[in-house]
Structure 1
Amino acid sequence: MHYIPAFLIICVFALSLVKKIGKFTIHIWQIAIIAAFLCIITNQISLKVAFYSINFDVIFFLFGMFCIGVSIEKSGLAKFFTNYTLKYIKNIDSLLLFVILFCAVSSAFLMNDTIAAIVAPIILTFAKTLQVNVKKLLLVSMLAITIGACASPIGSPQNILIVSHMSANPFLLYSKYLVLPTILNLVLLFLYAKFSFEQKTLYPQNKIVKLNDKSLAELSIY
């Protein structure tokens, strides 16, 4: 029976890659739930242990971050921020440079999960306003968030777990060993993004943007 967890892990990865069997589309959350259910009914893990393995702090944290992300979009703050930033963005290179630096630096100090939830609506607004490929711009932003998080001990939950076992100053250690590789990877990301975008000219839709809900915008910031 010890082979069942390994078999389930392989199935989860395989189905996550395939995502479709015949006419049926399979979502990742469906795969995860089925795998977890099979682990329980095959007695690989008890229901009690499974329940206490759930980290509700992380769940509520992510729920809060997604609420902030939705608030940024619904309040019009994403459009307002985009409109303000447009004066500094003249071409695709400056757009990519801004997105990469903003996402990377933010994720290094505010944790990558937080930034991913908050930045997504802003990136979508950028793509719509500047009429660029939304999928590519989202991919660049998420890669920048992931790379930027590596440069700081508080950039991701995994980093925090690692530094919890360190006796020395974690910020000094991360600065010593990971800042330079992070910068190098961000440069490579910029070059990759630069040559992957066929569009070189931006076509901004210049409009006067006002907040839809000022109170909601202020609440999402605080």
Structure 2
Amino acid sequence: MHASVPAAVAHRAAAIRPGVATSGLPGWSAWLRHAMLAVACALGAAPGALADTPDATVDPAHTARPVTTASRTDPAVSPRDAAVRQVVLGIISFTHWPTPPGRLHLCVTGRPDYAQGLVDTLLAGSTPLEVQHLHFDDSALGVACEVVYLGELDGAERQRVSATVAGRPVLTIAEHDPSCTAGSMFCLNVDGERVTFDINLDAVARSGVRVQPNVLNLARRPVTP
């Protein structure tokens, strides 16, 4: 089961997959209400997948302004990659691990097309996030990484990564998985400088981490990279 949720830089309040949204509703407002209701119903259908943790609520406005070691105007980072970075940091900010780490480690694997902005040390909310690149068959993916960002991988490589992180509290975010059925929790859809994401609720439920429902706020407020 997966729900499609638009994120960050798109001026779109919802982007539901054909299996979730229905068409023919009169007017934009009616369609929007139905789309968000469909997302809420989909989330409710996977109990425990997204946990409400009010004591650790993150302000969506704060997640929209992550701090990086590089300048926002760094010409080496394209607007598209900066938008992906914003979305990734926002998702991480709404995720909670069984043992809260003082410092998070994001591991990039595969052949990423949109990870140019994921470099050095970032901040996800108020938590430092160290970024490193690891080979897809490196066992450290399941041991040393709280977050794994998957670039392009073939089927066998993706299965290898999934097996490595299985049973461990690892947040997985993938490029190039439009159906979001290959095992990653969040799947990015990049269209120019607009970034949306799908949520694989089954993968979230199996992951051992908890994602706040407030992650849906990423769908409701546009973010400027």
Per the normalisation by structure 2, the TM-score is 0.24
Whose Rg is larger? Answer: 1
Higher helix share: 1
Q: TM-score, normalised by structure 1?
A: 0.24
